[in-house]
Amino acid sequence: MIKLLTAFLVVLLAITQYRLWWGENGLLELRQLQTQVANQEEENQFLSKRNQRLDAEVGDLKGSMDAVEERARFDLGMIGEEETFIWLIGEPPQQFQLPENQENPQ
């Protein structure tokens, strides 16, 4: 009788351990969800920084005609009334750009 009870308890323990580790809502699924949450938080942080940059750009465009004029010149190729347009043929000069996370030390 004790052997039968022991065998039953071992089987019951094995079933509960299986469900704990590999079953629905088990530890394996928990680890996968934690990884997904970490990836989503990283993406959200990136998008939040991008939104802050865009918000600052919108503020500049709303608050200053200089920013609008600069945007019109570089993005749309517009020129002012008293200006002359000159088109240089050939390869454009290469410009040095700092990485996005560094600021220009002046």
Q: Provide the token pair at 86.
A: 């000159």
Query: Mean pLDDT for the chain?
Result: 84
CA atoms within 13 A on the CB side of 8: 5
Given pLDDT bands bounded at 50, 70 and 90, which one contains residue 106?
very low
In a domain, 11, yes or no: yes
Q: Is residue 94 part of a domain?
A: no
Inside any domain, residue 16: yes
102 domain-assigned? no
pLDDT digits (tens, 9 = 90+) for 39-65: 999 999 999 999 999 999 999 889 888
Read off the pLDDT of each residue in 78-101 and give the average, rounded to a whole number.
77
Domain range for 18: 2-76
Distance CA 58, CA 65 (A): 12
Which amino acid is residue 14, in one-letter code? A
Q: How far is it, in rounded angstroms, from Cα 71 to Cα 78?
A: 9
Domain membership of residue 8 (yes or no) is yes
105 found inside a domain: no
94: left (phi over 0), alpha (psi -120 to 50) or beta: beta
Question: 61 lies in a domain?
Answer: yes
- Establish if 48 belongs to a structural domain: yes
* CA–CA separation, 40 and 47 (whole Å): 10
Determine the 3-state secondary structure of 102 from DSSP. coil
CA distance 94 to 78: 22
